[in-house]
Structure formats: C-alpha cells, structure tokens
Amino acid sequence: MKKLIPTIIIFTALAFVPTKSVFAAGMGGDFTFTFGQQAFTVPAETVNSWTGRQTVTPNPTLNPPAISFQNYLLNFLGQQAPTQNFSLSYNYDLNAIYNYVQNLSNQINATSTEPELTIQNNLAASFTPPQTGTQVDVYKSSLNALAALATGKNSSELAVYQTPPKNSLAQTNSLGINQLIGEGVSGFAGSPNNRRHNIAVGIEKFKGLLIPPGATFSFDDNLGPVTADAGFLPELVIKGSEGTIPELGGGLCQVSTTTFRAAMHAGLPITDRRNHAYAVQYYSPQGTDATIYPGSADLKFINNTPGTILIWPYEKDKNTLVYDFYGTDDGRQVTLEKPVVYDRKPDGSMKATWTRIVTLNGQTATSTFNSVYQSPALFHKTESFVSATGTPVSGLKMPAGKTQ
C-alpha cells in the first residue's frame, strides 16, 4: 500500500495577493533537533537540500495548531499578522523538513510500559522498567524547525506528547526500588567476537543484582570465577609485564567501566577503582574507566541511599552497553564534570582527571579520580594463550601495581 504523506502546503494562484518574505537564506551549517536531554544533528548538506525558494499559502491538515499557520509563524517571529490575505515566501521546502522529522520520529516514538518486578532468592528474576510513551507531533515539529531556520537559528525543539504509565515502580516492591537513580553508558564498536561474547556473559552475572542499603558492592565478588566452565572465551587483556595477551574473560572491563560510570552518576561513594595501564579506545573519554582483575584489581562502591539498589544492565544496541541503577531518590544533587586529559605524550602516555560533586542534606563532597596511562608500546601484543584452569585468583594473579 502506498504511504500517503499529508499535503501541508499548496501553491497560491490568487492575483494581487501580497507576498511577505519572512524566511532567511540557509546558514550553511548543521541543524539540531532537541528533545529533553537528547539532540539529533542534521548534517549541513541535508539542511542545504531543504532549500528552495517558494511562495505558498500553507494549508495545515495534520495536527494543525490552534491558530493559522501564518499567525503561528509570525507570532514565533515576534511579528503581528496583517489583516489582509497574503502568502509567505520562504527559502525552505516544508515537505522536505516534514519527511525528515517523520523519519526522525521513529527513533523517539514509543508506547508506555507498565513496570513489573519479581524477586526470587534476593535477585530480580524478572524486571520491566516503567516507560513513558512518546509521540512526536511531526507537523508542529516541522513548523518549529521552519520558523527557527527563518530567524537564522541552528536548532529547534521537537513537539512531543508523553503518556506516563498508569502504575509506578514503587508499587511493585517494598525495598525502595522506586525510580532510576543512575545510568552508565559505554560503546564497544569494533570489538571482536570473543570480546562481545565475554561482555554478554558478564552482563548476565550482574542482571537483577540487589544491593541493600549500607552494603558495599564488589565487582569481583559478584563476577565469580572467570573460567571456561563459566562461559568465558579467550580475548586480549593487559597483563602487567607480560603485555597484552589472550586470556579468558578479556573484555570484562567494558562491564566494570560501565558499572563505574553508573555509580558515579548515582552519586555513590567509590571506595576502590583503578584505571587501565594504558588508554584503551573502548573506554573513551579517558579517565572514566575502571579495570578489574580478580585478586589484583576490583571496583567497589557503597550503597548509601535509603533503599535497595537494583542493577539492570543491557545492550542498547550491538555496540552500546547500558547499566541502569534503580533505587530511592533521596534528593542528592550530582554534578559530573567533563573529564580532563593532560600531559599527553607522543608515545601515547597521558594523565586524566574526572571530578564529581555530590550535595546531600546540605553537605557537599567533591571527589576527583586521577588516572595515569602509560605508553601502549610497553605492553606489546603477544599471541600466546595463557590457559586458566581455575579462577584468576589461584593461577593468574597480576604483578603488583599492574592492571588489566
């Protein structure tokens, strides 16, 4: 069936109809649609493809605004609408903008989801987080973009209708698992198959984990044995003086790094964290990584919130890992400053800092995590496989001061 696109403009053929030119020429740069904290950038060449001077009388047919199209735009531009009939002369094709926004809406539109939580043996056996439904008003969003372009602006806000779920997450439990309190995100594009496999296995080790109030979380303790029987495959790890070598569980630091970022975002006290021996592309921006290696390097933090924390990791897409922390929002304000890389050397060595400011009950605490990365040349890749018949604690302990 042919897809019908609503007609949103018609050309005027009226004689002696005044023409009001309100639309400026193209800026020649990118354009950005915004929705909440999200931003969707339109490349300059696409924006330029929207240009094309036309004189039209708009005829809204899809979600028309309460006022006329002409008045809508003129009000947006801070101008008063004339009393006589007129057409608008502009330099952008509204249909082209409409088609673009319609395609963009596929990334945003979502149905509302009711929360579900089943706890068995101190573990979330099943969990469906609540989701607010979203629906982009394509027509109104297109008008917003058109009006923004008319005034030389390079961004506009998408008009989005939201439908919250009928029930709250708090209604599913009595542990204080009420809302999302922290989120960590990392990308692993370019990872080989074994690394992807180990990340997937690592995710399952932490999915549904519950951290009671006052408890200290240890990544290594919850990870368990890194063995073939546990499902891990050999992949490259940084192993101190031995260099970068294949070993069971290579890639698990993607999981620990994402966990660290979620704990940072949630404002939880970090009691143990170590950076990698050298800067790794998967953990950009540098200074936000956390290496682990059972027996030598761990990631630890404390649940100092009034409720239980539920850890729920998942792969957002084939190259993006997300760690969501659900719990009780106690009003703490968390500010994560942009990581700063400095003392960068030609050999790839560098230093980095990441600062976090947490304000809770009128008290402000500042934490700065410092990272020192050595030259990658010090850890040459070797092809020999180090066999692991047990956990790394018993046979593969790293030299002191070295990290995976």
pLDDT in tens, 82-133: 444 445 556 788 889 999 999 999 999 999 999 999 999 999 999 999 999 9
Radius of gyration for the alpha carbons in the chain, expressed in angstroms and rounded: 27
**Dihedrals phi, psi of 256, to nearest 5 degrees:** -65, -35
Whether residue 284 has pLDDT greater than 60: yes
pLDDT in tens, 46-77: 999 988 655 444 444 444 444 455 555 555 55
Q: Is the preceding omega at residue 213 within 30 degrees of 0, hence cis? A: no
Residue 235, both tokens? 């992949």
Q: How many alpha carbons fall within 13 Å on the CB side of residue 130?
A: 18
Which residues are registered as beta bridge partners of 370?
A: 353
**Second-level CATH architecture of 9-118+126-163:** Roll (3.10)
pTM: 0.75
Note the pLDDT of residue 295.
82
Going from N- to C-terminal start, the domains of the chain cover: 9-118+126-163, 174-395
Whether residue 193 has pLDDT greater than 70: yes
Note the pLDDT of residue 146.
87
